[in-house]
Amino acid sequence: MMIPAIRLLDDAFIFSRIPRRPVHSHKGTFGTALCLCGSRIYQGAALMAAEGALRSGAGIVQLASVQSILSACVIRLPECTLLPLTETPQGTISAENIPLLSQYLPQRKAVLMGCGLTISPDTEQLVHQLIPLCNGTVVLDADGLNVCQGGQLPHPATGELIVTPHPGEMASLTGKTIAKIQENRVDAALQFSKQNQCITVLKGHQTVIAAPDGQVFENPTGNSGLSKGGSGDVLAGMITGMAAAGLSALDAAICGVYLHGLAADVCAQHRSQTAMLPHEILQDLGTILSQHGL
């Protein structure tokens, strides 16, 4: 088996891929991202994902979720547009919303599904019936992946699929043990990408990003302060926002991963790895982007 060439990400490589915002631009220039996220018990996941998308360049972010989350969003993220959805008795997004969501998804430049949805038959129906209707980049994260065990991944009609598993989720998707995944993370990500024709972001220390054409990237940024619930939601939102703003699916994935880790490194310098919180890194992301004229 040939050993793939691995590109180690760095500042020069990343910032050459993020375009400057044109002077005569407007919100439509940078696309609309729809985040189908959250449930009554995982409200923070939806809010962090939406904020990640907002702070990463999307012109409009539409949060589609249950009412309790949307009520909190009005206060914390008034920039979001809202799509109220019917919820199940358990406070999760009901599959009854499929006809409504079908009216919106085909027009969205980027779609995020998964953060905080919970594992349920409704979530499974939402993921498998709605993704094939999408015409933009789809980011599938967390419970969106957990209802695809065995690696049966739906794909958008047009556009590309990005999956963002941690090692446990990758183990469920592939049927391999976590130890086997961790033994050769590059091979695990690359083979999954080729077999499923998707971009794979295998999270963890030195996150690996693999594309179905054989390109592989390794990320040097980030620290153990990211080892907290919510970090993945922020990352998924960032990747989605960058895809909405016009980056290719692969560039959105590698830039999102690198900047997520870099902002976490800056955050740890003044908050410590122990005390830093996932949503706080988005404040440091702004500092980094400003320093590079973005």
Domain ranges of the chain: 6-15+29-291
pLDDT of residue 151: 65
Is 18's pLDDT higher than 70? Answer: yes
Q: Pick the closest to residue 69 from 86, 44, 88 (CA basis).
A: 44
- For residue range 92-145, what is the model confidence (pLDDT) as tens digits? 999 999 999 999 999 999 999 999 999 999 999 999 999 999 999 999 999 999
Is the pLDDT at 4 greater than 60? The verdict is yes
Distance CA 258, CA 54 (A): 17
* CA dihedral of 221, 237, 270, 218, whole degrees rounded to 10: 0
Residue 3 pLDDT class (50, 70, 90 cuts)? low
Say if residues 9 and 215 touch (Cβ distance below 8 Å): no
Q: What is the mean pLDDT of residues 236-242?
A: 98
With 70 as the cut, is the pLDDT of residue 1 above it?
Answer: no
- Choose which CATH entry (2.40.50.140, 3.40.50.300, 1.10.540.10, 3.40.1190.20) describes domain 6-15+29-291: 3.40.1190.20
**Mean pLDDT (the chain, rounded):** 96
Q: For residue 220, what pLDDT band results from cuts at 50, 70 and 90? A: very high
pTM above 0.95, yes or no: yes
Residue 215 has pLDDT above 60, yes or no: yes
Task: Tell me if 274 sits within 8 A of 225, measured CB to CB.
Answer: yes
Euclidean distance between CA atoms 227 and 244, whole angstroms: 27
